[in-house]
């Protein structure tokens, strides 16, 4: 197995897996404690719209998806800040609309019939070096912002009413969180796929929460767990020649079941 490490695509896959795990661990923890997993899922799926438009216009897919999903995140933030009660309907609507836009634009693209479904599980084995730079940049931005605004993020996540009372701009931080979630999702989309990023946001964080008494510890542990699942899933996928995305998710779920059985 070790001989695999000499191939550049395997090296890229390992680097990409760790980089995306760091982003998913940090942002995923914030998403989980704010109970907006469904919202992150909505942004993830609606970013299909950006992929479709990018293919139609012939611009880089990562660029198109980034712009589109950031806009979606800001729209969702504005609507949900106004009317929190209907948050689930609104996410459902954005989710479906984004995917429909993506499909229509791919249909309209002459002579190019890409299967949008291939973005669901992605392919970690085929990560281009440009995506790695994008993820590295994203990790730096996320770590910088979350470290700098840690007390604010913690306060709005735990008790937003009190944070508001103390003069924290909760709308700004809520929007920032959604935009960072959108960027994380987009970084993962071509690499590991939509389904996997939702799994990476929810499974390691859920596990990390059990062992954490602080949010920062939860973020750190989530990133470690996510990296572990990604790398071991990747090895399994290489050994048995099965889909990397699915093996990563199943490794994570299996670990979750084992931990839940022994630690209640």
Binding site for another protein (CB under 8 A): 33, 147-148, 150-152, 154-155, 157-159, 161-168, 209, 212-215, 217-218
Q: Cα separation of 98 and 104, whole Å?
A: 10
Tell me whether residue 84 or residue 112 sits nearer to another protein (CB atom).
84
Q: Cα separation of 190 and 245, whole Å?
A: 11
Shortest CA distance to 168 belongs to which of 158, 177, 156? 156
Contacts of residue 142, defined as CB under 8 A and 6 or more positions apart, other chains included, come to 22, 23, 26, 27, 180, 183, 184
Shortest separation between residue 136's beta carbon and another protein, angstroms? 22
- Answer whether 76's CB lies under 8 Å from 94's CB: yes
Shortest separation between residue 238's beta carbon and another protein, angstroms? 34
Tell me whether residue 8 or residue 161 sits nearer to another protein (CB atom).
161
Shortest separation between residue 34's beta carbon and another protein, angstroms? 10
Shortest separation between residue 157's beta carbon and another protein, angstroms? 8
Tell me whether residue 3 or residue 161 sits nearer to another protein (CB atom).
161
Shortest separation between residue 16's beta carbon and another protein, angstroms? 28
CB atoms within 10 A of CB 173: 19
Contacts of residue 26, defined as CB under 8 A and 6 or more positions apart, other chains included, come to 142, 143, 146, 219, 222, 223
Shortest separation between residue 166's beta carbon and another protein, angstroms? 3
Q: Cα separation of 179 and 195, whole Å?
A: 19
Q: Tokens for 232?
A: 């071991």
Tell me whether residue 113 or residue 214 sits nearer to another protein (CB atom).
214
Tell me whether residue 89 or residue 147 sits nearer to another protein (CB atom).
147
Tell me whether residue 33 or residue 125 sits nearer to another protein (CB atom).
33
Helices and strands, counts by H and E, the chain: 12, 0
């Amino acid at each position: 197995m070790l001989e695999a490490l000499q191939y550049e695509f395997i090296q890229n896959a390992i680097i990409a897996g760790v980089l995306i795990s760091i982003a998913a661990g940090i942002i995923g923890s914030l998403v989980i404690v704010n109970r907006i997993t469904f919202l992150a899922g909505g942004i993830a799926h609606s970013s299909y719209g950006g992929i479709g438009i990018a293919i139609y216009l012939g611009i880089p897919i990562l660029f198109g998806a980034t712009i589109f999903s950031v806009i979606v995140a800001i729209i969702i933030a504005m609507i949900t800040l106004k009317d929190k009660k209907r948050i689930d309907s609104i996410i459902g609507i954005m989710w479906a609309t984004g995917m429909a836009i993506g499909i229509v634009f791919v249909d309209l693209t002459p002579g190019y019939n890409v299967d949008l479904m291939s973005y669901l599980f992605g392919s970690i084995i085929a990560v281009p070096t440009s995506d790695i730079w994008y993820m590295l940049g994203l990790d730096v931005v996320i770590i910088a912002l979350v470290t700098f605004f840690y007390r604010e993020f913690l306060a709005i996540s735990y008790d937003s009413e009190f944070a508001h009372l103390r003069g924290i701009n909760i709308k700004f931080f809520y929007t920032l969180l959604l935009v960072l979630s959108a960027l994380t999702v987009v970084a993962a989309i071509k690499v590991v796929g939509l389904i996997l990023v939702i799994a990476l946001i929810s499974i390691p964080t859920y596990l990390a929460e059990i062992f954490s008494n602080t949010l920062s510890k939860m973020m750190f542990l989530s990133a470690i767990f996510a990296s572990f699942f990604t790398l071991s899933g990747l090895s399994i996928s290489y050994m048995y020649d099965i889909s990397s995305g699915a093996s990563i998710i199943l490794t994570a779920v299996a670990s979750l079941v084992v931990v839940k059985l022994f630690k209640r």
